[in-house]
Amino acid sequence: MNKTFSTLRINQDRFRSHFEALAKIGGTAEGGVHRPALSEAHLEARRWLKKQIAQAHLEIKIDGAGNHHALLGCGPQDGTGLLLGSHLDSVPNGGRFDGPLGVLAALEVLQVIKEQGLSLKVNLEAVDFTDEEDCFVSYMGSRALTGDLKRHDLQNPSKSRDLFQQALSRAGLTESGILAAARDPKTVAGYLELHIEQGNRLIEQRKDIGIVTTIVGIRSRWLKFLGRADHAGTTPVNRRRDAAQGAAAFTLAVRDLVMKDFPDSVVNVGNMEFAPAAFNVVPEAVKVALQFRADENNKLDRMEKALLEEAGRAAQRFGLRWEMAPLESIAPVDMNPKVQEAIIRACENLNLSYVMLSSGAGHDAQSMASIGPAGMIFVPSAGGFSHSPREFTEWQDCCNGANVLLHAALTLAH
């Protein structure tokens, strides 16, 4: 790295001041934030961000999907930019760090480079993407920018279509504008995202930085165990075809299965729906929400086969039938090797320890990887907590991550 670049660091006081000011917008008594996408708190946070961008004397652009871009023209006048970013929206009653850390670090990087008057081979952009957290449409902003978002996605939001339309109106957005936000891939030199790990691997391994190799694939399935409804007081237990027993046996079995045969992957049973749901009726049917995640497609295939075989065994044990309905399948997304190498160089230059790891959660980076080289930087999450007011990262770790973002961006842009 250029000797001048190697001594650059973020302004920690300014970075912290921005972080603490933003955390007050939508802040909760428990110490978290409640800032769902396109809510009034989210829009207030974006107005605050626009003010900070203006005060930093950076250009601002808001695209048709509502993504907020801070632009630093430090390279050729061809519109090509290296994008750094994340999101300001939160899950309901979430934490202060998930998303905002990456947006504010990106803004800080642009400010440092502008103050130094550096000329680079590409321009820089700090981006706040819309609705990463799937309040209405998952990764709406980043998927709109990459051209992956379709009209069907907007017509089938997570919440009611009326609520979605009200939110779009509140934010001054339209479906046609969102679909027109797609960007020419030739103008994207790459994408970098700083994020909290949302797990405990970095702390357990005593590493400063996580360098993401892959964002895991996700498969979601509905399973239904079908038995026979009977009187709960007069039907002997050994004569029941109890769908609840099959669902419970399956749930316990898949935990052991994945821990034994797929130790680097995860499985989750997140919901069960009983029919009839009554104290005095043996359940005739139980619908089970199953989700599993892995970093390779062939591993997902093997997991699915093993999990469904387990469902068959549980059903047979209790004299049940079972059915499966696929819901969502998201393929694993590899991060770019050259971007990973730039992050490694940044860690080494800053004397920070690091480990290569996969991301078990989804991020805007997986969308951005479809149109350019993408990478992610993780910093430790205390206790592994996230999507909760308990979410916390030590401030020195936040600054370490921001400095790695700065140095990796300089490497990629120079």
Give pLDDT, residue 20: 98
At residue 394, what are phi and psi to the nearest 5 degrees?
-55, 145
Percentage of the residues of the chain whose pLDDT score is greater than 90: 96
At residue 57, what are phi and psi to the nearest 5 degrees?
60, 40
Q: Which long-range contacts (CB under 8 A, 24 or more apart) does 46-53 make?
A: 46/88, 46/128, 48/21, 48/22, 49/22, 49/88, 49/103, 49/107, 49/128, 52/18, 52/107, 53/107, 53/126
Which tokens sit at 119?
Answer: 């000329």
Q: What is the pLDDT of residues 215-261, one digit of tens each?
A: 999 999 999 999 999 999 999 999 999 999 999 999 999 999 999 99
Whether pLDDT at 194 is above 70: yes
Percentage of the residues of the chain whose pLDDT score is greater than 70: 99
C-beta of residue 165 within 8 angstroms of C-beta of residue 156? no
Q: What is the pLDDT of residues 131-169, one digit of tens each?
A: 999 999 999 999 999 999 999 999 999 999 999 999 999
Which tokens sit at 409?
Answer: 């961006």
Domain range 217-330, CATH class: alpha beta
C-beta of residue 101 within 8 angstroms of C-beta of residue 398? yes
Confidence of residue 2 (pLDDT cuts 50, 70, 90): low
- Domain 3-215+335-413, CATH: 3.40.630.10
* pTM across the whole model: 0.94
Q: What is the pLDDT of residues 275-321, one digit of tens each?
A: 999 999 999 999 999 999 999 999 999 999 999 999 999 999 999 99
Whether pLDDT at 3 is above 70: no
Whether pLDDT at 411 is above 80: yes
- Please give the residue that has the higher pLDDT: either 127 or 2: 127
Q: Where in the chain is the domain with CATH 3.30.70.360?
A: 217-330
Give pLDDT, residue 79: 83
CA dihedral 118, 123, 127, 129 (to 10 degrees): -170
Mean pLDDT score across all residues of the chain = 97
Q: Where in the chain is the domain with CATH 3.40.630.10?
A: 3-215+335-413
Whether pLDDT at 4 is above 80: no
Burial of 302 (0-12, 13-18, 19+ CB in 10 A): middle
